[in-house]
A and B are shown apart, each in its own frame.
Chain A
């Protein structure tokens, strides 16, 4: 029996958002693409599951880079251009910040947001708006430069704000605005979506984060992130992509510095000119490249020189009353007992109690998200892998329940009732859960930490030098744009573009 063609143009390992974006873009250019996904459905963590007859979102809080209909941002536009027709629902607010001394709900729109911050911390409107406008200017530059690279001189002329802030951390730039601490605290909650403390986080990343989320608001698919993943997969297949589920790629085959295929766990050796890998470079360079001698020392030094970013821990509940009945008013609540992001980041290296939690109630953006009389409520923290790496298989269940319990207790205090008295269904997702379903290296969903030593501007500049094996590209949170479902799409497109560029180059050389 023969399950595969003799040869493909490109094999994509991993049918999550990045890999599917690569596949869509390559198929659109007429390339012959095979996607091998280890799970039995697409999307990776962009998925849903059913418990007790109720469908539950697995991971998505809010998608960035979608934008309203008629004025889509880059991810929304890409999906539309590819014919992926997701039914997007707008998330009503930016977030409710429940942080020391403040209970404030902020809404998207730079001016609206600045006004609401000003209402909570009077006299800050001008400065906050100026900071947000700076974010927006940098955001525009990043978007333009990622498509049209230009000379440094030209860049300085056309993208001065971007160039001048590139060398500074978020905290350094915020400090220069001389904002009161409380206003700074109100600007900080989204930090967890990029996962580095402000003394480490490049301002460039903060700028993109704020301009995108605060400027344009965020969106979720009506039928959970599975709707988005499935529609991408369906569209890819309609465009001729072969997707095979439950195929576990063990080896990437390399000869004379160039990939020529993969081998799966069941023993299929499949040939292709290019391989796009969702598995982390750490895993690829240490255990997937065959033979090992094809791995250059530089590749090992590169992965060893980077720091893994965040994993995820969520307690996802279906409650037996409506959000209204329970007094839950906000789609997203960011609740912390400090807003010192560097301190919070250090604490994430442990096993709790975690001091900064993100809660989502899907019903407040999607009233039909759960059956009548119920609502969903999830509590999430995004721990670093360090602490969880010390948990043994025997201890795992105890630690998991202890942490979940602490998180519920912390939110009970805020909510003023005991969540435990309303739990219809309850699922605890841990870094191990993610490792189990997706195979992601150490359960890390955020790729490499955004730091001043691993800066997006530097990532862009050195990308060429960090290609160690010809024909091998990567698509996932570990790539230039970093973590998040929106950036996953961008990372996937980038990998496809690299493949297409290389194809052209090789064609021209013939």
Chain B
């Protein structure tokens, strides 16, 4: 073919090859290992760290605050106030993971005396690890932790400058982190915390929060119990109460027990604020899966054979229909790592090779294509027959 007006020579290929070889010949023979971008990523997300308990103190009559440092002497990674840490507890030789919102502030992780804290309330019988933390964990103990995780944090591009925090019980922890960060001057936002407790004895982190009240950090305690002499707000976090403490433009951050979520979903509608102004923290693991819509109730007392494939290794373990696949693995001492344990983050993404299962509709954070190919988030999935799953080798 003839390219009109375009007379180029035919030696181009040889010329560019010569140029290439010339560039290599002239290059240094010293290995350059620098990956500064990867190093920043590694600083923010170092993966699983070994942590040591250095302090335990009461956060109220029924909760404790535990402080951790890294055993390798490095600083804790940067994180956003409101994020959580996933802790790994080795109990009877079995690794059990639990997520906890971080109650200390990001600046406390970045200072020279770097630490991270969680605040955990003793359970009413259903929280194995919560009780372990309150009753048995002691200074000097070591465990593993991954942070900062989760999406429950102030994003300046998206959120109103005034945060209205709707907290219930120990759900105050992410807001304690935000409050401290604002007080320290490293988070540019105003915060009003509407904090629901039953009685004043139940208020978690009361002294710490009271100490940092300011123009930017308002704390309003709301008691639902019958407490004589209480002069503050009473009742639940109703739309009316929320309105009273709102400004013109607010982003509502909601963290608390599941009953509070269900209540507030109704109340928040009455506020008539745009959807983008409302942010719920993850729901938490379903408390009573058999009560969820769509769950075949006749299954709940059954136990199935769960075949767990890791590489070419296969193990068969029992799995109860009312417990998640993660719980079944944890009971059997098979490590299936989790982060959020709410079905949202996908860290425990697992392939179902065989069998039928139930996914909690309140915790179904799966990708569309994953649903098509039977990938599940094991923390929110319950066996309804004998099953075979494939999980990562740990």
Which of A's residues lie within 8 Å of B, judged by CB? 1-5, 40-41, 48-53, 55, 130, 134, 137, 152, 156, 160-161, 163-168, 173, 176-178, 202, 223-224, 226-227, 230-231, 234, 242, 244-247, 266, 268, 282-283, 285-287, 295, 297-298, 300-306, 311, 315, 320, 385, 388-394, 396-397, 401, 404-405, 408, 420, 422-426, 428, 431-433, 435-436, 439, 441-443, 452-455, 457-459, 461-462
Contact = CB atoms under 8 A, between A and B. Distances in A.
Contact of B16 (A226, A303, A389, A452): A452
Contacts, number: 236
A163 B12 contact: yes
Interface residues on B, range: 35 or more
Contacts of B12: 163-168, 457
Contact of B349 (A40, A401, A435, A452): A40
A461 B15 CA distance: 11
Nearest to B344: A50
Given A49-B346, A165-B12, A453-B20, 8 more contacts: A3-B393, A55-B368, A173-B6, A223-B372, A311-B37, A396-B44, A408-B157, A423-B157
Which 4 residue pairs of A and B lie closest in terms of their CB atoms, listed nearest first?
Answer: A167-B12, A3-B311, A305-B27, A166-B12
Interface string B14-27: 01110111111111
B35 A442 contact: yes
Contacts of A202: 16
A454 B274 CA distance: 52
Contacts of B313: 1-3
A242 B5 CA distance: 55
Given A304-B30, A439-B38, A457 B16 contact: yes
A49 B16 CA distance: 42
Nearest to A242: B311
A395 to B, nearest CB: 9
Interface in B3-54: 3-6, 8-13, 15-17, 19-45
B17 to A, nearest CB: 4
A163 B3 CA distance: 12
Contact of B151 (A51, A223, A393): A51
Contacts of A428: 157
A166 B36 CA distance: 35
B41 A164 contact: no
A227 B1 contact: no
Interface of B: 1, 3-6, 8-13, 15-17, 19-45, 78, 110, 151, 155-158, 274-276, 279, 310-313, 344, 346-347, 349, 365-370, 372-373, 375, 392-394
Contacts of A436: 41-42, 44-45
A50 B158 contact: no
A34 to B, nearest CB: 9
B342 to A, nearest CB: 12
Contacts of A282: 32
A453 B27 CA distance: 12
A462 B21 contact: yes
Contacts of A152: 13
A304 B31 CA distance: 8
Given A305-B27, A426-B157, A442-B38, A287 B78 contact: no
21 contacts: A41-B349, A48-B369, A156-B10, A164-B6, A168-B8, A223-B372, A227-B369, A234-B373, A298-B24, A300-B30, A311-B37, A393-B40, A393-B43, A423-B158, A423-B276, A442-B37, A453-B20, A453-B22, A454-B23, A457-B12, A458-B16
A51 to B, nearest CB: 6
Nearest to B77: A393
A443 B41 contact: yes
Nearest to B18: A458
B20 A454 contact: yes
Of listed B23, B31, B40, B151, residue having the most chain A CB within 10 A = B40
B19 A458 contact: yes
A130 B110 CA distance: 60
A424 B275 contact: yes
A211 to B, nearest CB: 15
B1 A245 contact: no
B20 A462 contact: yes
Contacts of A459: 20
Nearest to B337: A246
